[in-house]
Chains A and B, each alone.
Chain A
Amino acid sequence: MKQEHRDYLFLAVLAAVVIGVTAWSGSPVWYLNIIFLCLFGGVFYAAGSWHDRAFYLVCAGEPLIVACGIMNIWAGLFAMWMVAGLVCNAMGMLEFSHELKIFVLFCGVTVPLAILIHVSNHVVLPLLILAAGTGAIFAVETIRDHQFRKQYGAHP
Chain B
Amino acid sequence: MRRCAQGLSLVIIVIISCAYILDDLTLLLAGGILLAALLGQYLLFLYRFRGIVTSVAVQRSLERSQVRKGMILRVETTVTITVPPPMTARISDSIPLQVAIQDGDTSIPVEPDLNSRTYQLKYRIMPVMHGNCRFPGISLTVRNVFFENSIALFADPFSGPELLVQPVGMFDPSNRQSTAESHEVEKLKVVSGFGIRALREYYMGDDLRRIDWKLSAKHNKLYVREYTGMVNLPPLLIVDLPWRGAPYPEADLNRMVSVVAGQAEHAIRFYQYVSILVISGANILHFTPEEKDLQHCMSVLREWMHPAERMVHEYHVHDRADIRGNVRHLETVITQGGEPGSIVFSGNLRKQYLRMMMYMQATAFTGQIARTLSSVAIDECYLFSLGCGDKSHIRQIIRQAKIAKIIVHIRLPVTDIATRDPISNLYREADTVEAFA
Chain A residues engaging chain B, CB cutoff 8 angstroms? 52, 54-55, 58-59, 62, 65-66, 69-70, 73, 76-77, 80, 84, 91-93, 95-96, 102, 106, 109-110, 113-114, 117-118, 120, 122-124, 126-127, 130, 134, 137, 141, 144-145, 148-149, 151-156
Chain B residue at minimal CB-CB distance from A56: B7
Within the complex, what minimum Cβ distance (angstroms) separates A134 from chain B? Answer: 6
The minimal Cβ–Cβ distance linking B147 to chain A, given in whole angstroms, is 12
Q: List 24 A-B contacts (CB under 8 A).
A: A55-B8, A58-B8, A62-B30, A70-B26, A73-B25, A73-B26, A77-B29, A80-B29, A84-B33, A93-B145, A102-B40, A102-B44, A110-B33, A113-B29, A114-B29, A122-B23, A123-B25, A134-B35, A137-B42, A153-B151, A154-B154, A156-B136, A156-B154, A156-B160
Q: Is there an interface contact between A127 and B28, defined as CB atoms closer than 8 Å?
A: yes
**Which of A55, A106, A114, A156 is packed against the most chain B CB atoms within 10 Å?**
A156
Which of B20, B44, B160 contacts A127 (CB under 8 A)? B20
Complex Cα spacing A69 to B33, Å: 12
B residues near A144, Cβ cutoff 8 Å? 46
Contact at A66–B27, with CB atoms within 8 Å? yes
Q: Which residues of B contact A91 (CB under 8 A)?
A: 86, 145
Q: How far is the CA of A149 from the CA of B3 in the complex (A)?
A: 25
With A and B bound together, what is the CA distance between A92 and B112 in angstroms? Answer: 13
Instruction: Kindly list 4 other residue pairs between chains A and B, CB separation below 8 angstroms, not including A58-B34, A91-B86.
Output: A122-B25, A123-B25, A126-B28, A130-B28
Give, as a whole number of angstroms, the nearest-CB distance from A144 to chain B: 8
Say yes or no: B11 contacts A113, CB within 8 Å. no
With A113-B29, A117-B28 as contacts: A59 and B11 at CB distance below 8 Å? yes
Nearest-neighbor residue (CB-CB) of B16 within chain A? A127
The answer to whether B151 touches A149 (Cβ under 8 A) is: yes
Nearest-neighbour CB distance to chain B for A63, whole angstroms, equals 9
Asked if B24 is at the interface of the complex by the 8 Å CB criterion, the answer is yes
Q: Known: A52-B7, A62-B11, A117-B25. Is A126-B32 also a contact (CB below 8 A)? A: yes
Within 8 A of A (CB), among B135-162: 136-137, 145, 151-156, 158-160
Contact yes or no, B46 A141, CB < 8 A: yes
Q: Is A73 within 8 A of B29, CB to CB?
A: yes
Contact of B185 with A by CB under 8 A: no
The interface residues of chain B lying within 8 Å CB-to-CB of A84 are: 33, 37
Q: Which of B390-425 contact A (CB under 8 A)?
A: none
Q: Separation in Å of the A141 CB from the closest CB of chain B?
A: 6
Question: Which of B153-194 touch A at CB < 8 Å?
Answer: 153-156, 158-160
**Which residue of B26, B37, B46 contacts A69 across the interface (Cβ within 8 Å)?**
B26
B36 at the interface (CB under 8 A from A): yes
- Which A residues touch B333, using CB under 8 A? none
Docked complex Cα distance between A127 and B27 (Å): 11
